[in-house]
Amino acid sequence: MTDRPVRLDRPVTDLPGVGPALAGRLADGLDIATVRDLLTHYPRGYQDAGDVVDIAEVRAGEPATLIGEVLDWQTRRVPPKGARKRPLDLAEARVRQASGNVFGVTFFNQRWRASQLAPGTVAAFSGQVKRFRDRLQLASPDVQVLGQVTSGADAAAAAEQLRHQRLLSVYRATDGLASLKINQLIDDALAGLPPIEDWLPERLLDELDLVDLDAAVRGIHQPPDHATRQAARDRLVFDELFSLQLGLQWRRRRLEAATMGLDNGPVTGGLADGLLLALPFAPTGAQTRAMTQIGEDLAGPRPMHRLLQGDVGSGKTVVAAWAMLCAVDRGRQAALMVPTEVLADQHHRTLSDLLAPLGVNVLDGIRVELLTSSTTTSERRRILGELLSGQVDLIVGTHALLEEGVRFADLGVVVVDEQHRFGVSQRVKLKDKAAATVAGDPTGPDVLVMTATPIPRSLALTLYGDLDVTVLDELPPGREPITTQLITPDQAHRRSKLEDFIRTEVAAGRRAYVVCPFVEESAALPGRGAVEEHARLRDEVFPELQVALVHGRLSARDKDAAMAAFRAGEAQVLVSTTVIEVGVDVPEATIMVIEDAERFGISQLHQLRGRVGRGGGRSFCVLFAGWSSALNDDALERLTAVATTTDGFELADVDLAIRGEGQLFGKAQSGLPDLKLARVQDDLAVVQTTRTLARQLLDDDPDLEHPGNATLRTEVLRRYEGGLDAFAALETG
Ligand code: ADP
Ligand code: MG
């Protein structure tokens, strides 16, 4: 042990008693490498004095956490026995609880415990309760020292008082690292850590009534009471959200400062106008409002960064197509990036259909191409060449668009669909493609981001802190209502009724989807496989019908063929995995059957259901659940929500409430720093405050250059380190 002060960005091995083995367990089990990592491993809860049990209430064989005052120690040496060749040092303490009850604690070969836990020490002991002779004891428990009983005072009363002075933090533990061990490490770290410098100015803390950073970090781990714990949390949540908003908005300002917008404003009498005239329907009010807003962005002096949100079927594609044509009207190109091949295919087809009246891929028409990883090498070479020469106007594609070698002559508009599946950095990357074409080109394309399913406002403001938001809050007329039913195994007879119903519907010219969670069944995961279900339906259930199959492991050709057959009505039933989750549009499909529905998330179910009700008549969604695995409460809550409402925004809120943003907002998915404490739905007010605050701050100091903002700058860059490659690029470039 050294007396060097502990530093936040040093490895945990700087801490007393942390050797390579323990450091390895911290790294492997909890992803903790530095002291800072350790101190941001926040308690997942707190044990209140009231939760700590008395030895009189526990039985041998149970785990327990007991708090008490060490009375005395006895040590003895146990001679070698059997296979054990060496003697054992056995130390046993008697510990008295506030109730006056006494229990024993034993340690083997840990003599130092007697000095760590001298008589008068109050500590929490956590471990398995054993019976030894007539007494209950804890053998080799985890220990956290809570304090000392002051001499002369009544020991029991003092212990009682200590118990009430301090909450015991409970940490997420891992193999070989109990919560109490983490407690002890954190105590050691905090004991050696000089006061933490605050990155926020005092004036702001006063204004917002926040405690300083040092108090917050200590208070979250060692709160004497709930008020302190709460104040600490408030401050740390603020830090997480403020640095996030500041980072996102700062990056946006830098991009804006570095890039000038292109004038992609709508041209009267151009192709975009032509599209609207050629539509077989009138745009909804919401679509018109969205196009007006987007049109202003397109014409504006700065590149557009807009998020277009709308429920499934609200008609985002038309809006996107319109924006893309605006670029073409200005002699530029547009790209649409989507997360899956099936969706790329679908969009390519939809765009081609929508634009058909304007002339697609004909002499003097609009050139539309598709680029995915299954595009053949020669096709790819041709397309890349024509993209670079400017012959291709619109390109639809997957991640393949991000590859090296994809260059545009003059990229004007970028649309990213189903954005929540792409990382922020990927969004930025596609944008950067435009600039990469001409070295030193100071202009940047307009970017429109679309989400597949609505995301809650709280999450939109957080996740897309750098985007303006448009919501399509109106569905096109003529939408058929969708009846959703949940069928559990106790209603087995309903399966054959459904099969009869599908026959009737098909006879009336309608079609059905059957979605399975897996491509093939396996022993490892219970649930239906599309391959087996396809064979069963084709051979046993619907021998008189054509049943097609589509899943991700098929070749692009087989996938295309299956989709084409279903679209054309040559196949009336389509068995698939979730590859049809987004975007697929077959109006005659009126039945969506989802097998093992408990295996899907809310937004997935909502997306799948959105494949029906598209104009072919009254529609049905049938959720089979609990057939291959038992339904837990969360699953039941999800399925019930989906069965009771078709409002995507409402479902998004339920989803967020059930899952928490941990999963919706994972580091890997979003490319953003972790939110460890913030819960955007509960902390919506803080999301809004920090968003506004960040904006005001950057209005005054767009590049965080004022000396007074130096600590903010440092903190944001530190938090984004490695998370947003765009930041690193900006800093060096
Ligand atoms: P999403 O927002 O889910 O991407 P789409 O763009 O796929 O929705 O549109 C769903 C369906 O609604 C498509 O078949 C599209 O042609 C149709 N549609 C879009 N806008 C309108 C409208 N204003 N009136 C009628 N139908 C529309
Ligand atoms: Mg869509």
* Nearest Cα residue to atom 16 of ligand 1: 315
User: What token pair was written down for 717?
Assistant: 């860059």
d(CA 239, CA 674): 12
pLDDT at 405: 85
Residue with tokens 């060692």: 222
Ligand nearest to the CA of 480: 1
What's the CA-to-centroid distance between 439 and ligand 1, angstroms? 39
In the block, residue with structure tokens 């603020």: 238
Instruction: Estimate the crossing angle of helix 556-568 against helix 341-355, to 10 degrees.
Output: 50
Residue nearest to atom 4 of ligand 1 (CA): 316
pLDDT for 420 equals 55
Ligand nearest to the CA of 312: 1
Nearest atom (ligand 1) to Cα of 310: 2
| Nearest atom of ligand 1 to the alpha carbon of 317 | 6
Q: What distance in angstroms lies between residue 271's CA and the mean position of ligand 1's atoms?
A: 19
Question: Interhelix angle for 179-192 vs 213-221, to 10°?
Answer: 150
H-assigned helices in 174-331: 179-192, 202-208, 213-221, 226-258, 271-278, 285-299, 316-329
Helix (H, G, I), strand (E, B) or coil at 382: helix
CA of 624 to the centre of ligand 2 (A): 26
* Residues by chain with Cβ below 5 Å of ion ligand 2: 583
Cα–ligand 1 centroid distance for 383 (angstroms): 29
Q: Residue 421, class by beta-carbon neighbours within 10 Å (0-12 exposed, 13-18 middle, 19+ buried)?
A: middle
Give CA separation, 111 vs 67, 108, 136, in Å. Answer: 21, 8, 22
What is the residue with the minimal CA distance to atom 20 of ligand 1? 315
* Cα distance between residue 654 and residue 637, in whole Å: 9
Ligand 1 — pocket residues by CB below 6 A? Answer: 281, 283-284, 287, 310, 312-318, 476, 585, 614
Atom 27 (ligand 1) nearest CA? 476
Non-local (6+) Cβ contacts of 530 within 8 A are: 516, 518, 519, 520, 549, 550, 551, 575, 576, 577
> Do residues 336 and 396 make contact, with C-beta atoms less than 8 angstroms apart?
yes
List of residues 6+ apart from 54 with CB closer than 8 A:
66, 97, 98, 99, 101
Instruction: Say how far apart CA 596 and CA 583 lie, in whole Å.
Output: 22
Distance 8 CA to ligand 1 centre (A): 53
Mutation test residue for ligand 1: of 279, 585, 608, the one with most atoms within 8 Å of CB: 585
Residue nearest to atom 25 of ligand 1 (CA): 476
Please report, for residues 457, 677, 725, the alpha-carbon distance to residue 464 in angstroms, rounded to integers and kept in the order given.
10, 19, 17
Atom of ligand 1 nearest to the CA of 284: 23
Contact in structure between 500 and 577 (CB atoms under 8 Å) = no
What are φ and ψ of residue 311, in 5° steps?
Answer: -70, 165
Nearest CA to ligand 1 atom 1: 313
For residue 472, the ligand 1 atom closest to its alpha carbon is 2
598 alpha carbon – ligand 1 mean position (Å)? 28
Four-CA torsion 609, 611, 617, 622, nearest 10 degrees? -30
SS (H, E, C) 404-442: CCCCCCCEEEEEECCHHHCCHHHHHHHHHHHHHHCCCCC
- Closest-approaching ligand to the CA atom of 313: 1
C-beta atoms surrounding 458 within 10 Å = 21
Kindly report the pTM of this predicted structure.
Answer: 0.67
313 CA → ligand 1 middle, Å: 5
Q: What token pair was written down for 538?
A: 């084709």
Reduced to 3 states (helix: H, G, I; strand: E, B; else coil), residue 195 is coil
CA–centroid distance, 583 to ligand 2, in Å, is: 5
What token pair was written down for 179?
């919560």
Q: Which amino acid is at 370?
A: L
Q: Which two tokens stand for residue 132?
A: 């030894």
* C-alpha distance from residue 154 to each of 49, 71, 116, 120, 159 (Å): 19, 13, 22, 11, 9
Residues in the chain predicted with pLDDT less than 70, given as ranges, are 1-3, 48-52, 146-166, 418-442, 463, 465, 581-583, 616, 660-674, 721-733
Residue nearest to atom 26 of ligand 1 (CA): 476
* Ligand 1 centroid to residue 316 C-alpha, Å: 7
Q: What is the DSSP string of 530-590?
A: HHHHHHHIIIII-TTS-EEEE-TTS-HHHHHHHHHHHHHTSSSEEEE-GGGSSS---TTEE
C-alpha to C-alpha distances, 346 to 68, 341, 360, 404, nearest whole angstrom: 67, 8, 16, 25
Q: Are 33 and 27 in contact (CB under 8 A)?
A: yes
655 neighbors 601 (Cβ within 8 angstroms): yes
What's the one-letter identity of residue 28?
Answer: D
What is the 614 CA–ligand 2 centroid distance (Å)?
A: 12
pLDDT value of position 731: 33
| CA-based end-to-end distance of the chain | 44
Ligand nearest to the CA of 281: 1
Instruction: Return the pLDDT at 670.
Output: 45
Residue nearest to atom 5 of ligand 1 (CA): 315
Ligand 1 atom with minimal separation from the 417 CA: 4
SS3 for 182? helix
* Distance from the alpha carbon of residue 452 to the mean position of ligand 2, in angstroms: 6
Q: Which ligand is nearest to the CA of 321?
A: 1
- Ligand with smallest separation from the Cα of 453: 1
Residue 46, number of CB atoms within 10 A of its CB: 15
| Cα of 115 from ligand 1 centre, angstroms | 74
| Tokens at 222, concatenated | 């060692």
Mutation test residue for ligand 1: of 287, 307, 308, 317, the one with most atoms within 8 Å of CB: 317
CA atoms within 13 A on the CB side of 20: 0
- Element of type H or E holding 164: helix 155-165
* β-strands 446-450, 260-261 pairing: unpaired
Cα 246 from Cα 500, distance rounded (Å): 58
Mutate to test the pocket of ligand 1, among 291, 307, 308, 318 (most ligand atoms within 8 A of CB): 318
Shortest-distance ligand to the CA of residue 583: 2
